[in-house]
Amino acid sequence: MIPVTKPFLPPSEEYQKYLTGIWQRQWLTNMGPLANDLEIKLKEYLGLSHLLFVTNGTVALQMAIKALDLKGEIITTPFSFVATTSSIVWEGCKPVFVDIDENSLNIDASKIEDSITEKTTAILATHVYGNPCDVVEIEKIASKHNLKVIYDGAHAFGVRINGKSIFEYGDISICSLHATKLYHSIEGGLVITKDATILKKLAYMRNFGFDGPEAFAELGINGKNSEFHAAMGLLNLEYIDKILEKRKAINDRFDDKLKNLNVRKPLWHDDSANNYAYYPIIFENEESMLKAMNFLKSHEIFTRRYFYPSLATTLPYLEKQYFPITDDIAKCVMCLPFYPDLSIEEVDLICRFLLRIQNN
């Protein structure tokens, strides 16, 4: 059986060493020494001066919307994971969808202005599969219309653009460190901002708004993370180069073996490099995608329709809306199995099956 993803796990003895330390200190959560150390090491690795380690990527998004005090309408993409949209609704705002660009699969910046109304307060865009949005154009539109920008960088760990971390863009960026992501702390997330005032607000928010043991500075939530999660994060960071090396090898093998497959891949941003978070392929139509998916499944190889269906047609709390490019891509896209443990032989097997079913 080949699953679509498998979380990276370091050797258990190494995790055990961290557990021994936790038992000695008896400090389990509330931003203990491991969580603190993880923040320092991640800043160093990502080349950022500020970030906060939080519970998960979804809470990170909700904290971001709250910290910017957003109201009214937020322009966003229908081609993302549900948390991008649900966070907007959860914070009492209205998501306004804009169709995606057929090449990057990110929100189509050239269509944003048409959707701006007097109620618009922000743009929340996803770097889909880690591929950077048109951050320059989005920044231009945002400053022209006085809008805030939040980036859902759940997939974008380690991505740089012109040598600079992608998380430096927007008023706030978030990342997910969930077990299925490229780099993980089991559950976890990051909130990133360059603005010192917003950072301070976010730090209060993460800890119920506490300002000392008996005072409050802000409306807060419990956005903290534990020492056990931080330990996994610290350990996985020691393996990140190996993880990336493996993923690159798998990626290159797929590229090579699938040259003659009649599919296309998202077009990556010119000034950035792939972080090998996913291996998506886009078929000519839904029928050929399903045929391939089912054939692989019959051989115990599991792929995922990611993202399908469009968020604008699926959520019971929103009116259905149709977007030609999003709806079309969502029907035809498939993510292939992609994780460090996947062997080259398994990659070859997947590719052989894909080519066989195409030529059938």
Ligand X SMILES: *Cc1c(COP(=O)(O)O)cnc(C)c1O
Q: Binding of ligand X at residue 155 (CB under 6 A)? A: yes
Which residue number places its CB atom closest to ligand X? 57
Nearer to ligand X, 178 or 194 (CB): 178
At its nearest, how many Å lie between ligand X and the CB of residue 180? 7
At its nearest, how many Å lie between ligand X and the CB of residue 352? 30
The region of 37-45, 54-62, 104-112, 283-291 touching ligand X under the rule CB under 6 A is 54-62
Nearer to ligand X, 57 or 170 (CB): 57
At its nearest, how many Å lie between ligand X and the CB of residue 285? 25
At its nearest, how many Å lie between ligand X and the CB of residue 175? 8
Tokens of 342: 């996947």
The region of 1-9, 150-158, 243-251, 283-291 touching ligand X under the rule CB under 6 A is 150-158
Tokens of 53: 């380690």
The answer to whether 95 and 76 are in contact (CB under 8 A) is yes
Nearer to ligand X, 131 or 165 (CB): 131
Q: Binding of ligand X at residue 275 (CB under 6 A)? A: no
The answer to whether 332 and 235 are in contact (CB under 8 A) is no
Nearer to ligand X, 240 or 355 (CB): 240
Nearer to ligand X, 66 or 347 (CB): 66
Listed as own residue / partner, the contacts of 295-298 with beta carbons closer than 8 Å and 24 or more positions apart are 295/353, 295/356, 295/357, 296/350, 296/353, 296/354, 296/357
At its nearest, how many Å lie between ligand X and the CB of residue 178? 4
Q: Binding of ligand X at residue 58 (CB under 6 A)? A: yes
At its nearest, how many Å lie between ligand X and the CB of residue 97? 15
Distance CA 355, CA 262 (A): 9
Distance CA 338, CA 124 (A): 27
Pairing of strands 333-335, 164-165: unpaired
x-or-dash string of contact with ligand X, 115-144, rule CB under 6 A: -----------x------------------
Q: What is the CA radius of gyration of the chain?
A: 21
Binding residue for ligand X, selected from 5, 56, 226, 274, defined by CB under 6 A: 56
Contacts of residue 336, defined as CB under 8 A and 6 or more positions apart, other chains included, come to 4, 254, 279, 280, 281, 303, 350
Site for ligand X in 161-220 (CB under 6 A): 176, 178, 189
Distance CA 34, CA 228 (A): 8
Distance CA 356, CA 208 (A): 56
Nearer to ligand X, 74 or 258 (CB): 74
x-or-dash string of contact with ligand X, 69-108, rule CB under 6 A: -----------xx-xx------------------------
At its nearest, how many Å lie between ligand X and the CB of residue 239? 20
Please count the CA atoms within 13 angstroms of the CA of 348 that sit on its side-chain side: 3
Contacts of residue 199, defined as CB under 8 A and 6 or more positions apart, other chains included, come to 50, 52, 193
Could you tell me which of 107, 316, 252, 144 has the C-alpha nearest to residue 265? 252
The region of 63-71, 147-155, 270-278, 314-322 touching ligand X under the rule CB under 6 A is 147-155
Nearer to ligand X, 311 or 354 (CB): 311
Quick one: DSSP state of residue 121?
E
At its nearest, how many Å lie between ligand X and the CB of residue 55? 8
Could you tell me which of 69, 84, 89 has the C-alpha nearest to residue 127? 84
Q: Could you check whether the bond before residue 324 is cis, i.e. omega within 30 degrees of 0?
A: no
At its nearest, how many Å lie between ligand X and the CB of residue 157? 11
With CB under 6 A, what is the number of residues at the site for ligand X? 14
Q: Which residues bind ligand X (CB under 6 A)?
A: 56-58, 80-81, 83-84, 126, 152, 154-155, 176, 178, 189
